[in-house]
Amino acid sequence: MFQLPIPLCLALLVAPIAQSALVMSLQETGGDVQLIVDGNLDLTGLTFFQTQPASGYMNPGQGNINTLGVVDLYQNIVGNPVFGGLASTNMDSYTGDAAGVMGQLGYLQVPQGYMSGDIISGTATWNTTTLAGLSVTQGVYSWNWGSDSVTLYAGVAPPPGFPSPIPEPAAYIALAGFAGLGLFLWRRRLRG
């Protein structure tokens, strides 16, 4: 009868499980406000609506924050309808993937052609302003659907390890080490 070696079983139990989540961090930095977007998403449970340009703006009073580019729009997210007052402001610069939420309408924006699990990453800047100047109320805001979520940290420290919510390469190296040790012990036991 075939038995898995104990170290290999332990390695499989403690292996990192990739969790999908898109994290947005909106912070004041050096006289500007910067948005960092990082993570990946599982679109299961959402309904595709349309492809459209995203203009790269924020309106906290409508729960809207999106980056510049062409996006696929999905509907059926629920969560915070607003994260501040009514003030629509275009960002001054953006690099990276297009993404965002339209909170009051229940829409998620992802890069055109996005496939579940792909990395979304980017940085936007509003020059010479503050969160208050953009009518943002500091706090943590989230939008969810059956399989995933988007979380905005506005003026609040994002979780440890941000902007990298996916497993670190060191976790894979440790897993490979455990697997190698398990294979070595198993083969040694077979020789006997």
Question: In whole angstroms, what is the distance from residue 115 CA to residue 40 CA?
Answer: 9
Residue 9: pLDDT over 50: no
Torsion angle, alpha carbons of 172, 173, 174, 179, to 10: 90
pTM of the predicted protein model: 0.74
Q: How confident is the model at residue 18 (pLDDT cuts 50, 70, 90)?
A: very low
Q: Where are the domains of the chain?
A: 1-16+167-192, 20-166
Which comes out higher in pLDDT, residue 46 or 170? 46
What is the pLDDT averaged over residues 72-96?
94
The residue count for the chain: 192
All residues at 6 or more sequence positions from 152 whose CB lies less than 8 Å from its CB, including other chains? 24, 25, 26, 65, 83, 101, 140, 141, 142
Q: How confident is the model at residue 168 (pLDDT cuts 50, 70, 90)?
A: very low
Count of C-beta atoms within a 10 Å radius of residue 103: 25
